Amino acid sequence: MSENFEKYFILSAFITSFFGVFITNGVIIGTPEIAADFGMNNVLQNWIPTILVLVVTMFTVPFGQICGKYGFKKAWVIAQIIKIIGLVICCLSISTEMFFTSRVLQGIGIAMGNVCEMAIVVLAIDNEKRGRALGIIVTGVYLGTSLSPVACGFLVQDFGWRSMFYMTIIFNSIATAILLLKTHGEWKTNENDSLDYKGMIMYALGIFFLIYGISIFMTLEGQAMAVAGILIIIAFGYYELHQKSPVFYVKLLKKHSFTLYNIAGMFGYMAVMMITTIFNYHFQYVKGWNPEMTGIILLVSPVVMSIVAPNAGKLSDKIHPQKIAAIGMFITIFAFLILIVMDANTPLPLIILAMVLQAVGMGLFSSPNMNAVMSSVDEKYAAHASASQITVRGIGQTLSLTIVTLVFGWVMGTLVLSSQYSDMIVESSQIICLICAVACVIAVITSVIGIRLDKNTDSSL
C-alpha cells in the first residue's frame, strides 16, 4: 500500500470506527430522552444500545466469509450505505418499533464495516506498521466510546436526541466519499469458496438465543433460550469442522494463544462496555446532573485514552502485544475496585481517579490485544481472525449490556428509571462493577496463560 493510500484508508477507518462506536455507546447518554419520547420502561430503555450490539455480534462472522469472497473494499462501501439508511430511518422514527428497526440496520452496517476494516489492515499494511495503524483505528474506537457522551450530552441538551444521528450521517458520508475517491484496489481472501449458508444461520440463531435468553434469564423462557443458544453454538462448531469452506475456521481455536487472546478480549470488552452506562446513570439519576454536565465530566476518559492508545499500538510492534494488554487490564481492576463502593456520597475526585485508571488500562489493552489476535495466525486466515476478534468483542459488549439489563431488572423490576429510585440504581451499579472486576481478573489470567503457551502452539495454523 502506498503512503497516501495508507493515509486515506486509516483516516476513513478512524472516522467510521469513531462514529460506529458513537451510535453504539454515545447514544447511552441520550437513552433517557429517547425512552421518554417513546414511553419505554427500564427494560426497553436498556435495549436501546443492546439491540445494535447484538445485531453486530450476530452478523460479524457471516460477513467475514461474504466480504472475503466478494471484496472487502466493495463490502465496506455497501456497509456504510446500509448504515446511513438506518440512521435516516432513526431520525424519522415515530414509534418504538420503527426506532428499533433502524438500530438493526445500523448494526448490520457496522458489522460488515468492522470486518472489512480489520481485514484490510492485515492484508494491505506491512507487519511493521500494523500496530501503529491498529493503534490509530482503536483510538477512534475508544475516543468514540468516551468522547461521544460529551458530544451527545451537548447535542441532546441543546438540539434533541435525533441530532446525534444527523451528526453521524454527515461524517459517515464523508468517510465513504474519502474511501471511494482516494483509495484504490480490492482485497479478497476466499473468492473461489462457496458460501456456508447453513453455518451462517446456525451461528446467528445461536448468538440470538443465547444473548436474548440471558437478558430475561430470570424467567423460564429465558433459561430455555439460553440453553438452546449454547446447544446451537456447540452444534455450529461441530458442523463447521466438517465443511470444506466453513463460515468460521474452527480449527483456528486449536492454536491456544489465538483462543486465549480472544477470551481475554471478550472479558476485557465486557468490563469496559458497562462503565459508560454506569457513569451515565450515576451522574444523571443519582447526582441529578443534566446530559451536558454529565458529558463534560466524562471527557476525562477520552483525553487520557487519546494519549495512551496510539502509543500502546506502536509499542506492541516492539514488545509482545499481549504483555502490554495484560498490564492494561491489571490496571483496570483497580478502577472497578473503587467503583464497587461508589454511591451518592462518593467524592467526585475519587470517581475521576477511577475514570483515569480505567482509561489508561483500556488504552493499554485494546490495540495490543487486537494486534496479538491478528498476528497469531497466518495472513490467509485474516478474514476469519478479523471476524473472530470483532465477534468476541461484540459478544463481550452484548453480554455487558445484557448483564446491565438483567441486574437492573432484578433489582428494580419494570420501574421507570428516575432519581426517586437512586438507591436501587446505586445497588445495581455496585453489583455490575463487581462483575466487571471479576471479568478483568479473568482477562489477565487468560492473557498470561496465552503468552506462556504462545511458543508451544501449532505454528502450522
pLDDT of amino acid 383: 64
User: How large is the average pLDDT for residues 51-69?
Assistant: 84
Q: Which of 41-50, 196-205, 315-324, 452-461 has the highest mean pLDDT?
A: 196-205
Indicate whether 459 pLDDT > 50. no
Q: Judge whether 443 and 267 are in contact, CB under 8 Å.
A: yes
Instruction: Tell me the C-alpha distance between 39 and 95, whole Å.
Output: 10
Phi-psi region of 93 (alpha: psi -120 to 50; beta: other; left: phi over 0): beta
Higher-confidence residue of 273 and 88: namely 88
Vertex 133 angle, CA 129 and 136, to 5°: 145
The whole-model pTM stands at 0.72
- The Cα 324–Cα 331 span in angstroms is 11
Does residue 387 have a pLDDT over 70? no
For residue range 287-328, what is the model confidence (pLDDT) as tens digits? 888 877 877 787 787 778 778 877 787 777 778 888 888 899
Assign 189 to helix, strand or coil.
Answer: coil
Residue with the bigger pLDDT between 370 and 99: it is 99
Spatial contact of 423 and 297, defined as CB atoms under 8 Å apart: no
The pLDDT of 387-394, averaged and rounded, is 73
Q: What is the mean pLDDT of residues 35-63?
A: 83
Lookup: cell for 307:
494519549
Tell me which amino acid residue 120 is: I
Query: In whole numbers, what is the pLDDT of the chain averaged over residues?
Result: 82
In sequence order, which residues have a C-beta less than 8 Å from that of residue 3 and are 6 or more positions away?
none
**Which cell numbers in the block locate residue 324?**
502490554
Q: Residue 458's pLDDT band (boundaries 50, 70, 90)?
A: very low
Q: Is the per-residue pLDDT at 5 higher than 80?
A: no
Q: What's the mean pLDDT in 207-232?
A: 87
Q: 296 near 150, Cβ under 8 Å?
A: yes
> What amino acid is encoded at 193 in this protein?
D
The set of cell numbers assigned to 194 is 462457496
- How many residues are given for the chain? 461
pLDDT at 379: 66
